[in-house]
Structure 1
Amino acid sequence: MSLTEELRRYAESLRLDFIGFCSVDALNEAPEDRRPNAYLRDAVSVISIGYKLNYASIQNLPKSRSTYMLEHDYANRHLDEASHLITRFLEKREFQAIGFDSGAGFYHEARKTPKEIAADISHKHAAVACGLGKFGLNNLVISPDWGSRVRWATVITDAAFEYDHPLGENPCLTGECEECVKICPVHALDGWKGKYDPERGWVIDKKKRYDYVFVTLEGQRCGMCIKACPIGLNKPI
């Protein structure tokens, strides 16, 4: 059995819903200090893992915001444990590996200005490069079967794998839909035209988003653009 297949089976045993592989070269457009080789010099591969968020806690927002936060935090903890166990899996086979926590961008946001918000490594770009989805207008990864109701984490390693191809068709309906743009309570997605790229995403209005999450919602997640996305609606878990 190849290492790729072995790790896919292990990921399934960890109750992960998504796993994909790509070369570190796929993330070379990231700022130099946030590329995989900035953290692990000999890294050659990126592993993206994903865990679905339960449907009802999202689709009943904003009333279900407290349960959505519980769901969000549980998914992050589950991914953090899984990325840790995957690094152990690889180290036992004499490879080096580093896992990045799924909530890195969120837990440090409150200490930064809106312009400074950035995770150590972009889980979203990693997921897209590993063929697990495309960026939507909400600047979240949209998977064909579950929309943007997924949390992501990333592992980098010097182990080589059979790499996945980027997703072909873009699941986001873009200009034919715009439901995420319409539902945003602070209009943080209004400026997407001419900026949105399904492979690279785009820079939403971080100031509006920051103020809404950390002032209006007192640190709770919003989730309304995830709720509004028609991709993956009514899919069984």
Structure 2
Amino acid sequence: MKKEAIHHIEKFVKNHQAKPEITTHWGVPIVGFASADEPLFSQLPSVASPTHAVPRDFLPNAKTVIAYFIPFKKEMTRTNLKKRNSSKEWGLAYIETNEMIRQLSESLKEWFKIQGHEGHTIPATHNWDEKKLISDWSHRHIAYMAGIGNFGLNNMLITEQGCCGRVGSFITSAKIAPDTRYQEETCLYKYDGTCKKCVKECVNEALFVTSFDRFKCYEMLLENVENSRAIGYADVCGKCLVGTPCSHMNPVANKRKTLPRE
């Protein structure tokens, strides 16, 4: 069932971007699986949110959580390199990808139903406490559990295809073998103390080597909302993702390839 589920997700993304009204194009999704009994769920209240949920809060007979990273194309992310505010293309990608994730989750729910299993969908975003700015379901942490990548200094999940993209997750009663979590760092700073370009690229002084001011970050997102009203509600920034070594690849893995053999 794992291969079939991965194929369903890949096919959905491929078909979705072929629609004439869609302007965003994506790469092939990275899909991972985590057990609903993954021990790290019990640790999320201390690392993500004090009220972070577990899969069975949503689906009592949950067995598996499917996570997927949908990468953006390089030509789109390049549009977001200059100026303080996010580009129109980046904002549209955010809006269109969130909607695609919603439709993909509904498609997965129907697909698993045909297979005789239940499913539960979770929005791609806007499921947080607007005062504390923390979420009760972190797609990024779920994706880490599912072996899709590891966290960077920019708090994003760095995958084999980088961190420029969107993450979604889906809960099902189907029991599917979990994937192994990343054991290695994917962030150059965490690996050997170099880079820190994401800190330099933060346009609102929200990201530092030793801390992250989520309120200053959100302040920038709201500025971009006002700046891009014409395309919809794009509470997004992305400056700490684009133009960095981890934008579209795992820079640690790439660096290891170039190191001389002993």
The interval holding the TM-score normalised by the smaller chain is 0.7 to 0.9
What displacement does 1:48 show?
A: 0.3
What displacement does 1:222 show?
A: 1.2
Asked whether the equivalents of residues 54 and 71 of structure 1 are also in contact (C-alpha less than 8 Å), the reply is: no
**1:24 is matched by which residue type in structure 2?**
A
Asked whether the equivalents of residues 153 and 187 of structure 2 are also in contact (C-alpha less than 8 Å), the reply is: yes
Task: Give the aligned partner of residue 131 of structure 1.
Answer: 147
Question: Which shifted more, 132-141 or 71-80?
Answer: 71-80
How is 1:138-217 mapped onto 2 (pairs within 5 angstroms)?
A: 138-144=154-160, 146-174=161-189, 175-190=193-208, 192-193=209-210, 204-215=212-223
Which residue of 91, 99, 102 maps to 1:77? 99
Indicate yes or no: 2:21 matched with 1:9.
no
Secondary structure at the residue paired with 2:65?
Answer: strand
Structure 1 residue ranges (4+ consecutive) displaced by more than 4 angstroms after TM superposition: 232-235
Asked whether the equivalents of residues 128 and 134 of structure 1 are also in contact (C-alpha less than 8 Å), the reply is: yes
Task: Give the aligned partner of residue 67 of structure 1.
Answer: 89
Asked whether the equivalents of residues 151 and 187 of structure 2 are also in contact (C-alpha less than 8 Å), the reply is: yes
Task: Give the aligned partner of residue 103 of structure 1.
Answer: 125
Gaps of 5+ in 2: 14-27, 46-50, 227-233, 251-262
Q: 1:122 to 1:233 in 2, by over 3 A?
A: closer
Q: 1:234 to 1:155 in 2, by over 3 A?
A: closer
What displacement does 1:12 show?
A: 2.2
Task: Give the aligned partner of residue 94 of structure 1.
Answer: 116
Secondary structure at the residue paired with 2:168?
Answer: strand
Secondary structure at the residue paired with 1:34?
Answer: coil
**1:14 is matched by which residue type in structure 2?**
F
Q: 1:216 to 1:97 in 2, by over 3 A?
A: closer
What displacement does 1:172 show?
A: 0.9
**1:17 is matched by which residue type in structure 2?**
P
Secondary structure at the residue paired with 1:51?
Answer: strand
What whole-Å deviation, never above 9, does each CA across 1:25-54 have from its counterpart, x for those lacking one?
Answer: 332322355221111122121100221122
What whole-Å deviation, never above 9, does each CA across 1:37-82 have from its counterpart, x for those lacking one?
Answer: 1111221211002211222222232456111101111111112111
What whole-Å deviation, never above 9, does each CA across 1:176-197 have from its counterpart, x for those lacking one?
Answer: 110001111122121x43x7xx
Which residue of 66, 80, 88 maps to 1:47? 66
Task: Give the whole-Å Cα distance in 2 for the aligned partners of 1:95 and 1:86.
Answer: 11
Structure showing greater radius of gyration is 2
User: Percent identity over the alignment?
Assistant: 26
For normalisation by structure 2, the TM-score amounts to: 0.75
Asked whether the equivalents of residues 148 and 229 of structure 1 are also in contact (C-alpha less than 8 Å), the reply is: no
Q: 1:56 to 1:220 in 2, by over 3 A?
A: farther
Gaps of 5+ in 1: 196-203
Asked whether the equivalents of residues 51 and 79 of structure 1 are also in contact (C-alpha less than 8 Å), the reply is: no
Q: 1:216 to 1:45 in 2, by over 3 A?
A: closer
Task: Give the whole-Å Cα distance in 2 for the aligned partners of 1:233 and 1:8.
Answer: 21
For normalisation by structure 1, the TM-score amounts to: 0.82
What displacement does 1:94 show?
A: 1.8
**2:113 is matched by which residue type in structure 1?**
E
